[in-house]
Amino acid sequence: GQQLNQSPQSMFIQEGEDVSMNCTSSSIFNTWLWYKQDPGEGPVLLIALYKAGELTSNGRLTAQFGITRKDSFLNISASIPSDVGIYFCAGQRTSGSRLTFGEGTQLTVNP
């Protein structure tokens, strides 16, 4: 079953606002990944994090790998309508192991 706690479950924001979501775990992960899924599509990789403390940006997106290796957050700055979708965090414990997914954050951006 799922072992990553992702929050919030949903967010309703105005265009232009910043967004923050996070994932926490009771156990350590060596890799954290953030994906976005549009309706009827597969998830698309946004950011991959490999080192504790790492802070990585991809355009308006910024993600950090928590120092304890038990959490990660994703920030979206200056949101736009096309940011709408479901965002998933995923963790990998060791090289070669499966990914564990969070429950997802449904983001709605009002123009």
- Minimum CB–partner distance for residue 60 and another protein (Å): 18
Which of 34-59 are b and which e, b meaning 16 or more Cβ less than 10 Å from the residue's Cβ?
bbbeeeeeebeebbbbeebebebeee
Q: How far is the CB of 65 from another protein (least distance, A)?
A: 11
Separation CA 41–CA 32 (nearest Å):
21
CA distance 68 to 92: 15
What residues line the site for another protein (CB under 8 A)? 2, 31, 33, 35, 40-45, 48, 50, 88, 92, 95-99, 101-104, 106
Q: Minimal distance in Å, beta carbon 42 to another protein?
A: 4
Q: Which C-beta is closer to another protein: that of 42 or that of 111? A: 42
